[in-house]
Amino acid sequence: MTLLAIDDLSVDFGRHHRPALDHVSLLVDAGQRLGLVGASGSGKTVLASAVMGLLPDNAHLTGTVRFQGRDLTRLPDAAFSRLRGQDLTMVFQEPMTALDPTMKVGRQASEVRRLHTRCSAAQARAKVDEIFTRVGLDPVSQIADAYPHELSGGQRQRVVIAMAVMNNPSLVICDEPTTALDAMVQATVLALLVEELDRVDAACLFISHDLDVVSSMCDDVAVIHGGRIVETGGVDEVLDRPRHPYTQGLVATARIDAVGPGQRLPVIDDFSSTSDLVQAASEQCDTPAPTRQDR
């Protein structure tokens, strides 16, 4: 069953700028984990913001974003607020900024519970204790009483994940959730995320620039480049037999291990055969000859 249907979505920030999203269509089924891969500036975070209704005021949006059949782009603010944090939740890249620094994390989590369910403070607190234990925040009482800055990066992201799955959402959007974490912590947080998503049976739109992370998390993957989806398919299919030259380049550049020590690493430009891609890449990535922008 289709949970999220993005249809012909375009977003731009003023007429004079290149569209951040250019006629993007994407489907996420219930329980599906879809990876969205792209470089910085490719529009992947704009896409997440558009779904969450968090685009800035100067953004101009066309197309539809249907979630459980309802068009989110026309949803009134109040209804959107009820949806966010309940059925539709998000895990951000930087847990330090996603948490309120002046509030103990236990209280922040129980507020998320109480905002969306009719329950007493004690019931909410019990739920927080239960979830915190499950995501490996130990000892619970001590961590719930801590402020965000007193926790490690991994612990903070566990808190954010706990808050994201607490109300049994049907879709969790993860925007580079482990990029700010150390390799070792990253592995455990990802494992935890998979476990929690499976337990509440939530679908996930997993945004990342790291193909390895996406392939360890997701069933399917969409590649976004210059605001357009250039390729979609099963993770293995796309990674083993990439069709679009940009995807071919992306897969090849990510494989540092496949290149002998000190040998030249492949870059995306090696694969850009079509003139269209060369142009897109020169706007997006490294320009050989920088030109002065309008000031």
Partner 1 sequence: MKRLTVIVGLVCSGLVVLAALVSLVWTPYNPRRVDPGHKYAPLSWTHLLGTDMQGMDTLSRLLVGAQTTLVVGVLAVAIAAIVGVPLGIFVGMGHRFVGEVVARGMDILFALPALLLAILLAAATGASVGTATIAIGVSTIPIFVRMTRAATLTIMNQDYILAAQVSGTPTPVIAVRHVLPNIAPLLGVQAAASFSMAILAEAGLSYLGLSAPPTTPTWGRMLKDANIFIAPTQAVIPGIAIAVAVLGFNMLGDGLRDYLDPRLKEVR
Partner 2 sequence: MTAFEMTHVSMTYGGRRRRVRALDDVSLSVEEHQKWGIVGQSGSGKTTLLKILAGLASPTSGQVRLFGRDLDLKSADVMAELRSSVQMVFQDPRSSLNPRMKISSIVSEPLRSPLVRNRPDMPTDHAARVAEVLRAVGLPPDCGDLYPHELSGGQRQRIALARALAPHPRILLADEPVSAMDVDVRAQVLNLLNSLVDSMGLTLIMVTHDLSVVRHTCDHVLVLNQGRVVEWGPTSTVMGDPREEYTRQLLASTIRRRTV
Residues that bind partner 1 in the complex, under the rule CB under 8 A: 13, 17, 41, 295
Q: Does 128 bind partner 2 (CB under 8 A)?
A: no
CA distances from 155 to 137, 143, 147, 261, 269 (A): 7, 9, 11, 35, 39
The pattern of x and - marking residues 222 through 241 that bind partner 2 according to CB under 8 A reads -------------xx--x--
Q: Does 209 bind partner 2 (CB under 8 A)?
A: yes
Q: Does 63 bind partner 2 (CB under 8 A)?
A: no
Separation between Cα atoms, residue 201 and residue 165, nearest integer Å? 10
Q: Does 61 bind partner 2 (CB under 8 A)?
A: no
DSSP state, 84? B
Q: How is residue 214 written in tokens?
A: 């996406």
Question: From the list partner 2, partner 1, none, which binds 216 (C-beta under 5 to 8 Å, kind-based)?
Answer: partner 2
CA distances from 20 to 45, 140, 205, 281 (A): 10, 42, 18, 14
Which of 7, 216, 233, 244 is in the footprint of partner 2 by CB under 8 A? 216
Q: Which 3 state secondary structure label does DSSP give 45?
A: helix
Question: From the list partner 1, partner 2, none, which binds 153 (C-beta under 5 to 8 Å, kind-based)?
Answer: partner 2
- Backbone CA torsion sign across 198, 200, 202, 207: negative
Count CB atoms within 10 A of the CB of residue 264: 8
Which of 74, 118, 149, 264 is in the footprint of partner 2 by CB under 8 A? 264
Give the shortest CB-146-to-partner 1 separation in angstroms: 24
Give the shortest CB-275-to-partner 2 separation in angstroms: 19
Of 73, 37, 70, which Cα lies nearest the Cα of 52?
73
Q: Which is nearer to partner 2, 10 or 179 (CB)?
A: 179
Q: Does 185 bind partner 2 (CB under 8 A)?
A: yes
Q: How many residues bind partner 2 (CB under 8 A)?
A: 43
Backbone phi, then psi, for 123, in 5-degree steps? Answer: -65, -45
Question: From the list partner 1, partner 2, none, which binds 122 (C-beta under 5 to 8 Å, kind-based)?
Answer: none
Question: From the list partner 2, partner 1, none, which binds 287 (C-beta under 5 to 8 Å, kind-based)?
Answer: partner 2
Q: Which is nearer to partner 2, 124 or 218 (CB)?
A: 218
CA distances from 63 to 23, 121, 143, 288 (A): 8, 41, 43, 35
Q: Which amino acid is at 238?
A: V
Question: From the list partner 2, partner 1, none, which binds 185 (C-beta under 5 to 8 Å, kind-based)?
Answer: partner 2
Of 81, 38, 68, 9, which Cα lies nearest the Cα of 208?
38
Separation between Cα atoms, residue 20 and residue 59, nearest integer Å? 9
Which of 265, 274, 278, 279 is in the footprint of partner 2 by CB under 8 A? 265
Question: From the list partner 1, partner 2, none, which binds 267 (C-beta under 5 to 8 Å, kind-based)?
Answer: partner 2
Question: From the list partner 1, partner 2, none, which binds 13 (C-beta under 5 to 8 Å, kind-based)?
Answer: partner 1
Which of 1, 78, 122, 184 is in the footprint of partner 2 by CB under 8 A? 184
